[in-house]
Structure 1
Amino acid sequence: MNRFDVKEAWSTRDFNRYQEIAANNLLYDHRLRAYTPTKWFSPCFEHKIEDAIDLIANGTQQVTCEPKFAKNVNSYSIPSVLPELKVVASIFRSLNLAQKVEIEYLSRSSGRSTRVIAPHTLIKTGNFVYVRAFDHKSGEFRSFKLNRVIASRESEITLDEHQKKAFDPDWNTKENVVVGINGSPENPEAIAFDYGLESGELTICMNKALVPFFLSDWNIAPLGFNDLPDRLFPLKVLKINTM
């Protein structure tokens, strides 16, 4: 009703019509007071995963206007590699319902494996999308890259209290990341102007779990890597203070 700005009677009519089209897709859960997908759910409509992520993360959807208003504009971005929506739909549902989900995941360190995770937050970075979750395999909270999920399905394992977001130490720890100019560029004032540095520094406060993404997206040299070329890494971390 909120999403499409329609009245309850019209919403009921839409649900009834959908049930006629796909009678085996939804069941009414009296405990949740909502319709839930069945285990054999098969979508009647195809949606782009990018649109689903924007809707979940920002509550918005993109609108494409044709023709373009200006013909002399060129933009470039690295194309993101994301799985099909049906592959990760169970993860999105578990985020909303605070439930666990079983995934097949391709890790850089351990290869392909089956894991049970308890997702609590979707993380959008410059080039990738991650899900922050408690991982049964390691017994820790970790960030999983969405495009490495090969399959996902609902899990019957109960979510324990210590596996919720409130108990994620890196998520609930704030850090002040102080960055400054890296190396000895010819015109450091240009870099200071680019990034809004004041007195040669910029302090960003964020969750500890988000610091690696921040450094990667901004091409900031981490602590202990002072020899990275300033043309590729115009900024470097000067210090990190835990709050």
Structure 2
Amino acid sequence: MGALQRVELDTASLPSAPAPGVSVRPGEPADLAVVGALYETPARPRAALTRRGGAFDLPHEGRWPDGVDGLTVAEQDGVPTGALVYERGTGYGAEARLTVHDLLAVTAEAARALVGVLAGWRTVTRTVRLPLLAGDAASGLLPVERATAGGATAFMHRPVDVVRAVADRGWPGHVRGRVAFTLLDPVVTGNTGPWELELADGAGKLRRPDREPGLSKDPVLLSPGRLGLSLWTGPSDAGLGSGPDDPAALDLLACGPRAELLDYF
């Protein structure tokens, strides 16, 4: 399980500071391809739910998608390093709200520049609503302690192809280890059987082991929404795993960050 988090902030509370070396420019619908590329950097390590394929590959034919009024692109040395996608809304009074669909930055400088752009809306809109992703380049700049509203939408899903679910999930680069377990999957029976998870250098591999594991587990715990969610104590108490070996070995599954979303899928 993970969450899609949003927060509402008083626009006047947003910081505005110089960002040397960063230029910002108004974007066009053609620049939405840049947004898709920037989206991968923070999204992939947290849940592996990206914007590749399906509706995200459709051409925009020179117009904004529904609910989008504009785009600001941040560049450093001519390379896009941040993007702000927003919906202006209506009005200028206390009820006026700017809705941010994407606040993406791959450098601290780009994040500072884009938060400064948002702060510039303080004279025409009182509130800004934006996605919140813990630990990304922008979140540390936002005064979330002053949030007037917000909330999170929970998501949960289960893997069909467990090998690909592990390979595409994204893992911390500093963690190494391996653990063997038997997967019990009454729905996708091809997943059932012994597996060994190995993590190294930011990559995860799931392969068939050469020995019988002493632990068994439910396949839902290999979903991106579960990996990195908690230590093994909670799932074990919930009856999602068993076996004679010490279940603490499965804490390896919890070494990543908590699963988060940046978009609604």
TM over 0.5: no
> Which one has the largest radius of gyration?
1
TM-score after normalising by structure 1: 0.27
